């Protein structure tokens, strides 16, 4: 296994076949690499949906999406395919499924087919975003929580928004393995800061969102067929770019079980 650490965040791994059973030592090495680097780009894989479910067991097992339907034989696995730019729904900075009481810890995204141009994914390091946040804002928001809701997804799929649920999570989340703090906000799902004047809440959230995806925190991944990218939702935001028109882009996605954010 050859590991090339990238600047800002991320590590590229070659010489590893995840379709094979890994030893306990190899599994530990991969988990440690993710904790250290936040994003892993594992090249030249040939994986089935069942392989992805098996790989996810290293991070607590696969999580079945509460809104979108997965594959018939492996319902934990979502197939994400291009339907033209007008239907592109992930062109926003977010962490996956934060509207759950226990949001998924890790996402695995596997490239089956990718366009020659476009379709890159951006990742933003939320440890750095926290560390470089203004000290006065840190003090104001320390121990405060934000309201996350699935209303936007229900609207997207045409479901009854009266069934929308909300959950509160800390604005600054401490990673249970690294012990580091990260900003834990996602514009698509956060509605407000708990206990704060609505105007101040809205204004402050807008400033925070802009801060979380400053260029200095970002790695942009250009996909190649067979890439498996694994990222830690507890300390990383991601953004799916389009820019490939009606060319085919097909991915398999798995998210893993998580814990209550602290």
Whether residue 98 has pLDDT greater than 90: yes
Q: Write phi, then psi, for 21 (nearest 5 degrees).
A: -70, 130
- Lowest mean pLDDT, pick from 51-65, 73-87, 193-207: 73-87
What is the residue whose two structure tokens read 């991320």? 10
Q: Return the closest-CA partner of residue 248 out of 84, 110, 91.
A: 84
State the DSSP code for 112.
E
Instruction: Quick: pLDDT tens for 112-123.
Output: 999 999 999 999
How many whole angstroms separate alpha carbon 213 and alpha carbon 121? Answer: 13
Q: Which CATH number fits domain 2-256: 3.20.20.70, 1.25.40.10, 3.60.130.10, 3.30.470.10?
A: 3.60.130.10
Looking at residue 89, its pLDDT comes to: 58
Looking at residue 143, its pLDDT comes to: 93
Whether residue 88 has pLDDT greater than 60: no
Whether residue 7 has pLDDT greater than 70: yes
Domain boundaries along the sequence of the chain: 2-256
Beta carbons of 238 and 102 less than 8 angstroms apart: no
Looking at residue 156, its pLDDT comes to: 75
Instruction: Quick: pLDDT tens for 168-192.
Output: 999 999 999 999 999 999 988 999 9
């Amino acid at each position: 296994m050859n590991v090339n650490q990238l600047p800002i965040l991320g590590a590229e791994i070659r010489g590893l076949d995840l379709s094979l059973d890994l030893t306990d030592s190899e599994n530990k090495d991969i988990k440690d690499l993710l904790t250290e680097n936040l994003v892993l780009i594992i090249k030249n894989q040939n994986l089935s949906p069942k392989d992805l479910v098996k790989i996810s067991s290293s991070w607590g097992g696969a999580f079945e999406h509460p809104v979108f339907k997965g594959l018939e034989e492996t319902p934990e696995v979502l197939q994400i395919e291009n339907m033209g730019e007008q239907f592109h729904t992930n062109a926003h900075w977010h962490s996956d499924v934060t509207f759950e009481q226990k949001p998924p810890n890790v996402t695995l995204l596997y490239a089956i087919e990718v366009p020659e141009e476009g379709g890159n994914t951006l990742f933003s390091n939320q440890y750095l975003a926290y560390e470089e946040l203004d000290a006065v804002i840190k003090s104001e928001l320390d121990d405060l929580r934000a309201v996350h809701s699935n209303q936007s997804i229900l609207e997207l799929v045409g479901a009854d928004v009266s069934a929308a649920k909300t959950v509160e999570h800390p604005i600054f989340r401490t990673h249970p393995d690294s012990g580091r703090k990260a900003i834990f906000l996602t514009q698509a799902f956060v509605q407000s800061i708990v206990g704060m004047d609505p105007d101040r809440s809205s204004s402050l959230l807008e400033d925070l969102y802009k801060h979380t995806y400053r260029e200095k925190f970002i790695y942009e991944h250009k996909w190649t067929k067979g890439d498996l990218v694994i990222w830690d939702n507890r300390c990383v935001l991601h953004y799916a770019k389009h820019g490939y028109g009606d060319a085919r882009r097909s991915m398999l996605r798995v998210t893993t079980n998580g814990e209550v954010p602290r």
